[in-house]
Amino acid sequence: MLSKSELEEILHLALETGGDFAEIFIEDENGTTVACEDNKIEKIVTGNSHGAGIRVIKDKIISYGSTSLVTLDELKKVARETAAAFSGSSRKKTFDLVASIPPHGIAVKRRPHEVAIEEKVALVETLNKTARSYGDKIVQVTVRYLDSNQAVTIANSDGIYIEDNRIRTRYYINVIAAKGNILQTGYEAPGGTVGFELIEEYNPEEKARQATERALLMLDAPHAPAGRMMVVLHSTAGGTMVHEACGHALEADFIYKGTSIYGNNIGKKVASELVTVIDDATIRGKYGTFNFDDEGTPGQKTILIENGILKGFMSDKYNAKLLGIKETGNGRRESYLSKPIPRMTNTIIAPGKSNPDEIVASIKNGLLVKHMGGGEVNVTNGDFVFDVTEGYVIEDGKVKHPVRGAILTGNGPKVLETIDMVGTDLGFQTGVCGKYDHAPVGDAQPTIRIKEIVVGGRQQ
312-364 pLDDT, tens per residue? 999 999 999 999 999 999 999 999 999 999 999 999 999 999 999 999 999 99
Strands 419-422, 427-433: pairing is unpaired
Cα–Cα distance list, 135 to 13, 222, 254, 347, 448 (Å): 64, 22, 48, 38, 36
At 43-91, the pLDDT tens digits run 999 999 999 999 999 999 999 999 999 999 999 999 999 999 999 887 7
Distance CA 279, CA 288 (A): 10
Of how many residues is the chain composed?
Answer: 460
Q: Give me the chain's average pLDDT, please.
A: 94
- Give mean pLDDT, residues 228-246: 89
Q: Where are the domains of the chain?
A: 4-219, 227-456
- Please report, for the chain, how many H helices and E strands are present, in that order: 10, 23
Strands 407-411, 383-395: pairing is antiparallel
Q: Global pTM? A: 0.95
What is the CATH number that goes with domain 4-219?
Answer: 3.30.2290.10
Distance CA 453, CA 233 (A): 11
Nearest CA among 74, 69, 78 for reference residue 23: 78
HSE toward the beta carbon, residue 131, CA cutoff 13 A: 34
Whether the pLDDT of residue 311 is over 60: the answer is yes
At 253-306, the pLDDT tens digits run 999 999 999 999 999 999 999 999 999 999 999 999 999 999 999 999 999 999
Distance CA 458, CA 386 (A): 16
Query: Going by C-beta distance under 8 Å and a sequence separation of 6 or more, which residues neighbour residue 243?
Result: 344, 347, 431, 433, 441, 443
Inter-residue contact 56 to 91 (CB < 8 Å): no
Query: Going by C-beta distance under 8 Å and a sequence separation of 6 or more, which residues neighbour residue 237?
Result: 369, 370, 371, 372, 427, 429, 445
Q: What integer pLDDT is reported at residue 460 of this predicted model?
A: 47
Q: What integer pLDDT is reported at residue 458 of this predicted model?
A: 67
- Give mean pLDDT, residues 112-118: 96
Across 38-181, where does the E strand assignment appear? 40-58, 61-67, 98-99, 138-156, 160-179
Inter-residue contact 319 to 293 (CB < 8 Å): no
